[in-house]
Amino acid sequence: MYVQLVSISMLYFIIWIPFVTISLIRLFYDPLFLQDAIMLVINYCLYICPLASPFIALVGLPAVRQRLRTNNWGMIWNNHVIQTRIRPTRTKNTRVEQQRTLPHRQYDEHSL
């Protein structure tokens, strides 16, 4: 329950603190401060809180977190790191095999 409360509170803080700060700056100092950003982006970001809060509440439930762990959906909860290596691959046709399969030419195209 505390995880849900803290996560939803942090969501609202992350969304509302920039909006309130910019609004206070516009109210007391410069009325045109970040006017374009507020009109285009920040006003619509306020709708993220009510849309995301049910999902954050679900992730806060212990049964849902356990289910996400068993299905390997929770990258946040994975403590192990899978190391992958990039190695050169073997080619199927080596130069010796190519010489056997191609007909022999008297002149090579590079030796003129």
Looking at residue 4, its pLDDT comes to 86
Residue found under tokens 């992730």: 59
Q: Would you give the DSSP letter of residue 91?
A: P
CB 52 within 8 A of CB 85: no
Separation between Cα atoms, residue 16 and residue 42, nearest integer Å: 9
Which pLDDT does position 3 carry in this prediction?
A: 83
Phi and psi at residue 99, in whole multiples of 5°?
Answer: -65, -30
Does residue 13 register a pLDDT over 90?
Answer: yes
Residue with tokens 């516009």: 26
What pLDDT is recorded for position 23? 86
Q: What is the pLDDT of residue 109?
A: 62
pTM of the model: 0.53
Query: For the segment 36-58, what is each residue's pLDDT rounded down to a tens digit?
Result: 877 788 888 889 889 999 888 88
Mean of the per-residue pLDDT values of the chain: 76
Contact assessment for residue 43 and residue 15, using Cβ atoms and an 8 Å cutoff: no
CA distance 34 to 41: 10
If phi > 0 it is left, if psi is from -120 to 50 it is alpha, else beta; for residue 72 that is left
User: For position 39, what pLDDT does the model report?
Assistant: 78
Q: Is 111 helix (H, G, I), strand (E, B) or coil?
A: coil
Better-predicted residue by pLDDT, 35 or 108: 35
